[in-house]
Structure 1
Amino acid sequence: MPPAPGEEQHPCLALANSAIALPGGHLLDALATPAGADHWLLERGLTPGPAGLQEMCASQLRAMREHVRSLLAARAAAHPARPAALAAVNDALTRVPTAQLLQWDESGPFRAAPHPTAAMLDHALAAVAADVADLLTGPDAERLAACGSPPCNRFLLRQGRRQWCSTRCGDRARAARAYARRTQQPTP
């Protein structure tokens, strides 16, 4: 599927849209496997190279996706945000250390950076968290919308009157409206 409007500028939209509901109850999930999640991060420049993610890290990324989706949905529908989603984004923003941390083992104290794979994921999650915070508080927030073509679950930044994430969704919505008009029974 082509990226929804705004995904190229906002990695948080790309993350939210990384699981796509398709007609017939099918789901296309780019983060379903650790290799898929690793590829997704690398493709968007959120990691400097392959991170070699394990299932635990891919699961963290999928959990962040659900929190981001929750915040985007709340903003698009003008509802309050879930506290758990806010806490997860704020945790990701503050989790990335800016210096080597003090560590201690049987030989004594030392300074070291976290495990490289974990650090790459933490930096990627922090980048997505910062982006969602910027999107929700910035000028593009007013343009944020959910795709208007069920069962699509993607988010987009509206451009003009456009209410769909792709031409495919717009065509499907127009076809459904036309079918509904043709099959509508006249009322006596």
Structure 2
Amino acid sequence: MRDPISRDAQLVLDLASTLRHDGAGQVADDLTDPAGLTAWVHAHPHTLPGAGRHTADPHALTAVRDLRGAVRTLFAHAVRPARPSPADGARLLPVPEALRRLNEAAARTPTVPVLAWDEGGEPVVGRRPVPDGEDQLTAVLARAAIAFLAGPERERLRACHAPRCVRYFLKEHPRQEWCKPSCGNRARVARHHERHRRTG
């Protein structure tokens, strides 16, 4: 049975997956310009506030790319002692720097107190982000990353080591080794060719 993936986990995995294999032996980056970030945000209308109205600028692009670097560093840290994604070998930040970036990004959107008082209950004060803050996108992504990394789903995080894959994924069943079946097929074909090369 497949374990469900929380919205926070899916969002942060999607952010990490904006670095991907391009099918031709290179790592592609979906966030090379503001238009790429705008398209990515628009593809997440149910998890990002105001996604349909968002138009990224160079400041937002830099902030989200910096956050992504921190997230992928912390993903690599989380999957230890296993190897990180092959895309991250030369890009990893020191863990304290990744934590600093993540925490600073999460703090960028100011919040305001909100009072809730259900009939028959006691008043409860919560917090709500100030709408449309300049850095709200980065803060929402950072908070999703914090929720994921501090939660139980982190234990299922793995790096896919199939040929030409650089993704992180959540392990859904005990025997799962790759992020998707096509990666498993490529890995089996590569092992088969390697065995024949050694014996042939």
For the structure 1 residues 148 and 94, does the alpha-carbon distance in structure 2 shift closer, same or farther, using more than 3 Å as the test?
Answer: same
Moved more, 145-154 or 23-32: 23-32
Q: 2:179 pairs with 150, 154, 165, which one?
A: 165
Give matches, 1:27-176, under 5 Å: 27-45=27-45, 46-48=48-50, 49-78=52-81, 82-99=95-112, 116=132, 119=133, 122-160=135-173, 161-176=175-190
The one-letter amino acid paired with 2:182 is R
- The percent identity for this pair of structures is 32
CA contact (8 A) 1:10 1:131 kept: no
Once superposed, which parts of structure 1, at least 4 consecutive aligned residues long, lie more than 3 Å away? 5-9
Q: Aligned partner of 1:44: which letter?
A: H
Change (3 A) 1:115 1:133: closer
Shift of 1:42: 2.2
Q: Structure 1 residue 23: deviation in Å? A: 4.6
Unaligned runs of 5+ in 2: 83-93, 113-129
Q: 1:24, CA displacement in angstroms?
A: 3.6
RMSD: 2.8
Question: Structure 1's 90 and 148: CA in aligned 2 closer, same or farther, altered over 3 A?
Answer: same
For residue 127 of structure 1, report the CA deviation from its aligned partner.
Answer: 1.8
Which residue number in structure 2 is paired with residue 13 of structure 1? 13
| Paired letter, 2:80 | A
Which consecutive unaligned segments of at least 5 residues does structure 1 have?
Answer: 100-113
Rounded to whole Å, the distance in 2 between the matches of 1:50 and 1:164 is: 35
User: What does the per-residue CA deviation read over 1:39-85, in whole Å, with 9 as the maximum and x for residues that have no partner?
Assistant: 21121131412322122321221111111000011101159x71111
CA-to-aligned-CA distance 1:108-134 (integer Å, 9 cap, x gap): xxxxxx995xx25x2222222122212
Paired residues, number: 166
Secondary structure of residue in 2 paired with 1:69: helix
Aligned counterparts of 1:179 and 1:60: Cα–Cα separation in 2:
43
Go from structure 1 to structure 2 and tell me whether the alpha carbon gap of 1:141 and 1:174 turns closer, same or farther (over 3 Å shift). Answer: same
Cross-structure match for 1:110: none
TM-score calculated relative to the size of structure 1:
0.77
Deviation at 1:7, TM superposition (A): 8.5
Q: Which residue of 2 aligns with 1:180?
A: 194
Taking the aligned partners of 1:173 and 1:21, their CA distance within structure 2 comes to: 15
| 2:91 corresponds to | none
Supply the AA of the counterpart residue of 1:39. Answer: A
Q: Cα distance 1:61–1:7, how it changes in 2: closer, same or farther (>3 A)?
A: farther
More helix per residue: 1
